[in-house]
Structure 1
Amino acid sequence: MKFTPALPLLCLFLLPACALAAEKAVYGLNEYAHLGGLDLEVAAKLDTGAKTASLSARDIKRFKRNGESWVRFYLAIDTAHKHPIERPLARVSKIKRRASDYDSESGKAYTARPVIELQICMGQRQRTIDVNLTDRSAFQFPLLIGSEALKQFGALVDPSLKYAAGKPACASKAPTAE
């Protein structure tokens, strides 16, 4: 049998990639997400083509509390969510409008959305991510998780899978970063 150095060399080349993959978590196209502080579990769509995360909300109002900017909203998920939620406003994001959503009267190609920080648990991992608020009631999933949040989760998204991480199983005092 003749020794060929190609196989050991290939293994050495792939070793860093294997170590990187070991740190990543595999998620499906859709996952269950627990929303910390809201004591709510929702189905989420993981979208690597979207930059930001979005949560379905209605009657969104910004206001001041002790000189700080806050936002008050209702979840636009189902009729069970009749109580307002109040959170500090992290920032306001500009989201590019779709061509079909272009506002010709104002001439704005962007829409401004309030952003809050929200603790999300998917599978065994819990992170605090930025989530913009918008009415997603016309969509199947009330939570969309975009690429910025997916990076924080160390996510590898396999679109052939659904609910690969299972039900959220984060401890209540889990750290927000590894």
Structure 2
Amino acid sequence: MRLAPFALLYCLLCTPVLSQATEKTVYGLNEYAALADLSLQVPAKLDTGAKTASLSARDIERFKRDGEPWVRFYLALDDAHDHPIELPLARISKIKRRAGDYDPEDEKTYTARPVVELQICMGKALRSIEVNLTDRSAFQYPLLIGSDALKRFDALVDPSLKYAAGKPGCATVANSAE
């Protein structure tokens, strides 16, 4: 048959795509994430529709240390987290407000949030990601991991799964350029 060469060619062309997909790690809609810098493990929601990652924080205060911008905050997880955390400020992020969060008199369609860099471990992968700070105490998951961070994890998200990567088990610090 004359179709056999075309079928073989098609299979050969698809092989690189399939091998790239096998290099990705499949994560569920929710995963356990270890915040290595803070010696803490929290449940996280993986959200491909969000661009950035967000960590639940309260009493967020920017300040200068040795002329450099820093941020001080408390984790908004529960009453047990009553000590302040101080980290260098990576940048300020402008987050688009949702329709229900928009005040027409305020005239701002975004909210400014401080961003810090954290080492996050999911499964066996440890990556340095940017995380904006905001009070997420009204949400079920204190950490939201958006598409920017998911790319750094080489993640494929299967929303039918939960905790597919298991408990965080990072043995060594990964290169932040990964």
Range class of TM-score, shorter chain: over 0.9
Instruction: Name the SS for the 1:9 alignment partner.
Output: helix
Instruction: Name the SS for the 1:114 alignment partner.
Output: strand
Alignment of 1:1-178 (within 5 A): 4-178=4-178
Paired residues in the alignment total 178
- Give 1:18 deviation, angstroms: 1.4
Instruction: Name the SS for the 2:130 alignment partner.
Output: strand
TM-score, normalised to structure 2, is: 0.95
- Return the letter of the residue paired with 2:87: R
- Return the letter of the residue paired with 2:133: L
Quick check: 1:70–1:89 contact (8 Å CA) kept in 2? yes
Structure 1 residues 134 and 3, CA gap change in structure 2 (3 angstroms): closer
The alignment's C-alpha RMSD in Å is 1.5
- Give 1:83 deviation, angstroms: 0.4
For residues 17 and 3 of structure 2, the distance between their equivalents in structure 1, rounded to whole angstroms, comes to 25
Quick check: 1:93–1:112 contact (8 Å CA) kept in 2? yes
For residues 118 and 24 of structure 1, the distance between their equivalents in structure 2, rounded to whole angstroms, comes to 22
- Return the letter of the residue paired with 2:114: P
Quick check: 1:126–1:177 contact (8 Å CA) kept in 2? no
- Give 1:7 deviation, angstroms: 3.3
For residues 82 and 10 of structure 1, the distance between their equivalents in structure 2, rounded to whole angstroms, comes to 60
Question: CA deviation digits over 1:146-171, x for unaligned, max 9?
Answer: 00000011000011111111111101
- Return the letter of the residue paired with 1:93: S
- Give 1:97 deviation, angstroms: 0.3
Quick check: 1:113–1:132 contact (8 Å CA) kept in 2? yes
- Return the letter of the residue paired with 1:150: L
- Return the letter of the residue paired with 1:54: S
- Give 1:23 deviation, angstroms: 1.5
For residues 176 and 45 of structure 1, the distance between their equivalents in structure 2, rounded to whole angstroms, comes to 22
TM-score, normalised to structure 1, is: 0.95
- Give 1:177 deviation, angstroms: 4.6
Ranges in structure 1 where 5+ consecutive residues have no aligned partner: none
With 163-172 and 137-146 compared, the bigger mean Cα shift is at 163-172
Provide the identity percentage: 72
For residues 3 and 175 of structure 2, the distance between their equivalents in structure 1, rounded to whole angstroms, comes to 49
Ranges in structure 2 where 5+ consecutive residues have no aligned partner: none
Quick check: 2:127–2:174 contact (8 Å CA) kept in 1? no
Instruction: Name the SS for the 2:162 alignment partner.
Output: coil
Quick check: 1:47–1:145 contact (8 Å CA) kept in 2? yes
- Give 1:106 deviation, angstroms: 1.9
